[in-house]
């Protein structure tokens, strides 16, 4: 698979087959991803690989927090405080497309809740990844982390694996740190599901439109 094919084929996978992924395969993906660039070669990324009983405990702890009405307390703000156009429309279209693919109607509050809780279970993928970095790093290091995370997703395709990056897994960072035994100095950035995609799941077949190049590009001669 060439690089352009990998970039254009990558999409968020939200349903997985019950097939394990070996530690050797995960290591190979991370070994390729570590070639990502970073400012003055700081390499700020850390990864927690979560499987088995630990993955189950983490998911149940996050769901319990949401069920109890515990306020989210992410280590950093991910989304804007106020949604404006055109981003507001894109956000709504994203949600509608997802729920349509899942067969969840607008008034199905229970169905929407269960769909959201699947985030905390890594969509039942056999592997969950938690990306974290030291609190001493500033905003620029999020760029470095983003390039590393993208490398993970592209490298996974080479191994016929799917991924889904998940901001939701950073909503309750204290719980993540507690379950995984991470020190408080580590900022939880995001999570990711990793596994063999279920080709028959409708949720894996819908796609979202991307803006054309001329919509976000200006040329300065």
CB atoms inside a 10 Å sphere around CB 73: 12
What are the residue boundaries of the structural domains of the chain, listed by start? 3-75+119-209
Residue with tokens 């982390």: 145
Distance, in Å, from the CA atom of 29 to the CA atom of 27, rounded to the nearest integer, reads 5
Q: Examine the pLDDT at 139 and tell me if it is beyond 90.
A: yes
pLDDT value for 106:
84
Confidence band of 82 (pLDDT split at 50, 70, 90): very high
Q: Examine the pLDDT at 122 and tell me if it is beyond 90.
A: yes
* CATH architecture classification, 3-75+119-209: 3-Layer(aba) Sandwich (3.40)
Confidence band of 91 (pLDDT split at 50, 70, 90): very high
- Reading the block at residue 133, the tokens are 């970095």
Q: Examine the pLDDT at 67 and tell me if it is beyond 90.
A: yes
Query: What is the mean predicted confidence (pLDDT) over 137-143?
Result: 97
Confidence band of 1 (pLDDT split at 50, 70, 90): confident
- Reading the block at residue 53, the tokens are 């009983």
For residue 162, list its beta bridge partners: 195
Average pLDDT, the chain: 96
Query: What is the mean predicted confidence (pLDDT) over 129-142?
Result: 98
C-alpha angle 86/89/95, rounded to 5°? 140
Confidence band of 109 (pLDDT split at 50, 70, 90): confident
Q: Examine the pLDDT at 161 and tell me if it is beyond 90.
A: yes
Q: Pick the range with the lowest mean pLDDT from 25-34, 99-108, 114-123, 186-195.
A: 99-108
Distance, in Å, from the CA atom of 55 to the CA atom of 111, rounded to the nearest integer, reads 23
Confidence band of 144 (pLDDT split at 50, 70, 90): very high
């Amino acid at each position: 698979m060439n690089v352009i094919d990998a970039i254009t084929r990558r999409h968020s996978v939200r349903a997985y087959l019950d097939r394990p992924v070996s530690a050797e395969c995960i290591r190979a993906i991370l070994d390729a991803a570590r070639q990502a660039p970073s400012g003055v070669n700081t390499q700020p990324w850390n990864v927690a690989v979560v499987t088995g009983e630990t993955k189950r405990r983490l998911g149940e702890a996050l769901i319990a927090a949401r069920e109890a009405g515990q306020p989210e307390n992410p280590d950093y703000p991910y989304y804007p405080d106020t949604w404006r156009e055109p981003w507001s429309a894109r956000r709504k279209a994203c949600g509608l497309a997802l729920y349509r693919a899942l067969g969840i109607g607008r008034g199905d509050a229970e169905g929407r809740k269960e769909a959201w809780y699947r985030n905390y279970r890594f969509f039942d993928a056999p592997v969950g990844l938690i990306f974290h970095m030291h609190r001493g790093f500033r905003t620029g290091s999020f760029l470095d982390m983003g390039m590393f995370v993208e490398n993970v997703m592209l490298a996974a395709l080479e191994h016929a694996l799917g991924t889904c990056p998940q901001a939701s897994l950073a909503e309750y960072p204290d719980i993540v740190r507690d379950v995984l035994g991470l020190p408080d100095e580590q900022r939880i950035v995001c999570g990711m599901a990793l596994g063999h995609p279920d080709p028959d799941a409708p949720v894996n077949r819908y796609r979202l439109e991307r803006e054309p190049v001329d919509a976000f590009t200006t040329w300065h001669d």
